[in-house]
Amino acid sequence: MTWQRTLRHYLAIPADELWEVVGDPTRWPAWSRAIRSFTLEPGQPHEYAGAHVSHTAAVAEAQLPHVVPGQLGHYLPARGWAAALHGRTAGPLRLTEVDPGRSLAFEQPASGGATRVRWALQEHPDGGTMLEQQVTVTGPMTPAIVLSLGTDLLADWPLAVTRLYRMLRPEPDHSLLKVVIAGGSGTLGRSLAADLATRGHDVVLLTRAVNLDLPHRQLTWDGMTVGPWAEELAQDPARTAVVNLAGRLVDARPTEANIAELRESRVRATRALVQASQQLETRLARWVQGSTTAIWSDAGETRLTESSPVPTGAAALPQMTGVAEPWEEAASGASTEHLTILRTSIVLQNGSPALDRLTGLTRAGLGGRVGSGLQWFSWIHVQDWLALTRAALGLEPDVELPDGILVAAAPNPVRNRELMATLRERFGRPAAPPTPTPLVHVGGVVLRTDPALGLTGRHATSEVTTEAGFEFAYPTLDGALRDLTS
């Protein structure tokens, strides 16, 4: 059994400077909360046939004498039960690769297999660095190791790279755009906050409760009224942007009370932000307003783009159009030089409820088509969503997007039956029986979710991104899933 995940992140720090931290694994716990401790044994490295000694190993030993190929060490996961079990049963790990300024890897033996962690640094033409973290687990202990370490490393990644950046750049670059994110504590918001913070931007999260685990500045608000948090917008509006992602998660039963809460949690927050902007003496630089392609409800075979009308009457589902349309309308009147309404499709990223549920069902042998299987599935890889959001903030010099509605969706939607077949192929699962529509409704009750999330669909793509010359890094579903699931 093998489990592997490869994560990448850009940091606006030269590779040689970043290596000062990444090249010393004993500092790993300082930037990853998934790790409690990491120590290396002193003395000469042990003989190890699998160790990779680079052509600059002598330099490595001179610069970091305690970090050399073959070196023995020990680590403990952060989870209490996992740390206790690992500490009692695991032998020493070995550094298997040390290539100064470029890569470092270690391997922890386990019964019938091993856990291997590798960091690689690649210089970027603009002077920054792309950091890659690859975690590979093999052997019969794979499920237990993934549970005790792998999932925590995935969940912590956006926060880990931010902590890593802050170890070398404690203060943001105040010459860059400041970005205030409402709803920045969710899965997508954390990824955006990390993406901007590690590029040097001052990132501020508006939150109902401060979370000390988040390595970002946080201001409390009630999501309904203008409060002291508005001073953050007033300090330098012309160099400040708002990204509004605030709102309750949509994964809920479509009762009248839940729909009202889905709608009002978005509308109230947006109105508070708009009201705060209208009190400023200068317009805000940018405003990215969250929305969703679900505004088109169940669009059947209609090909949707930015210019497609919003459905009305019976075609407008209250939990979709009835939530998204007033959310967009609430942004009307925002005092900003540029306003983008980002109609986002299903975002594929590790740790997101959508991908976790899809992969969980597939692994459990329930990866058959849902209902007819003909409903369209529009999606976007998280890295492409981040790039589009940066472009909407005016931070992508090669892409200039117009104001107004922007569909954040990959250019190749798939039908549900193709989605499920691709997932089965990725996880090596055989053909599975379909899930009939009545069973989906029963499952919605049991799981306390909305069956319409699986039974409806939309073929949504963007004309705007095509005309602007935006290039998707992951235009196909297979390529996106290969990257996310390794």
> The domain spanning residue 83 has which CATH number?
3.30.530.20
Lowest mean pLDDT among 168-172, 251-255, 351-355, 364-368: 351-355
Q: Kindly state whether residues 89 and 113 are assigned to the same domain.
A: yes
Question: 476: domain range?
Answer: 178-485
Is pLDDT above 70 for 50? Answer: no
Q: How many CB atoms lie within 10 A of CB 126?
A: 10
User: Which element (helix H / strand E) includes 206?
Assistant: strand 203-207
Residue 75 has pLDDT above 70, yes or no: yes
75 with 197, same domain: the answer is no
Q: Which tens digit of pLDDT belongs to each residue from 453-480?
A: 899 999 999 999 999 989 999 999 999 9
pLDDT at residue 360 in the model: 84
Element (H, E) at 219: strand 217-220
pLDDT of residue 286: 98
Two tokens, residue 66: 């305690």
* Mean pLDDT, rounded, for 309-325: 97
Tell how many helices (H) and how many strands (E) occur in the chain: 17, 21
- Choosing from 168, 195, 222, the residue where a domain stops is 168
Residue 324 three-state SS: helix
Confidence band, pLDDT 50/70/90 cuts, at residue 46: low
The reply to whether 333 and 229 lie within a common domain is: yes
Instruction: Give the type of residue at 166.
Output: R
Is the domain of 399 the same as that of 461? yes
353 and 442 assigned to the same domain = yes
- Res. 420: pLDDT tops 90: yes
pLDDT digits (tens, 9 = 90+) for 322-333: 999 999 999 999
Could you tell me if 116 and 49 lie in one domain? yes
Q: How many domains does the chain have?
A: 2
pLDDT grade, residue 95 (50/70/90)? very high
**pLDDT (0 to 100) of residue 60:** 40
Residues 384 and 410 in one domain: yes
Nearest to 377 by CA among 352, 355, 345, 350: 345
Domain boundary, last residue among 168, 198, 224? 168
Query: Do strands 72-77 and 93-99 pair parallel, antiparallel, or not at all (unpaired)?
Result: antiparallel
**What span, in angstroms and rounded, lies between the C-alpha atoms of 354 and 154?**
15
pLDDT score recorded for residue 185: 86
- On whether both 274 and 383 belong to a single domain, the answer is yes
Is residue 160 in a domain? yes
Instruction: Give the pLDDT band of residue 355 (cuts 50, 70, 90).
Output: confident
Q: Are residues 138 and 190 in the same domain?
A: no
Is pLDDT of 44 > 90? no
pLDDT value of residue 334: 98
Bridge partner list, 6: 134
**48 phi-psi bin (left φ>0, alpha ψ -120 to 50, beta other):** beta
Which of 168, 188, 221 is the endpoint of a domain?
Answer: 168
Mean pLDDT of 175-197: 95
Question: Is the per-residue pLDDT at 57 higher than 60?
Answer: no
Residues 156 and 201 in one domain: no
| In 90-150, alpha helices (H) | 142-145
The length of the chain is: 486
pLDDT at 30: 97
- Is 173 within a domain? no
CATH number for 475: 3.40.50.720
pLDDT tens track for 259-275: 999 999 999 999 999 99
pLDDT at 359: 87
**At a CB cut-off of 8 Å and minimum separation 6, what does 230 contact?**
276, 279
pLDDT over 60 at 54, yes or no: no
pLDDT for residue 73 is more than 50: yes
The model's pTM is 0.93
Q: Looking at the structure, tell me whether residues 155 and 61 fall in a common domain.
A: yes
Looking at the structure, do residues 103 and 205 belong to the same domain, yes or no? no
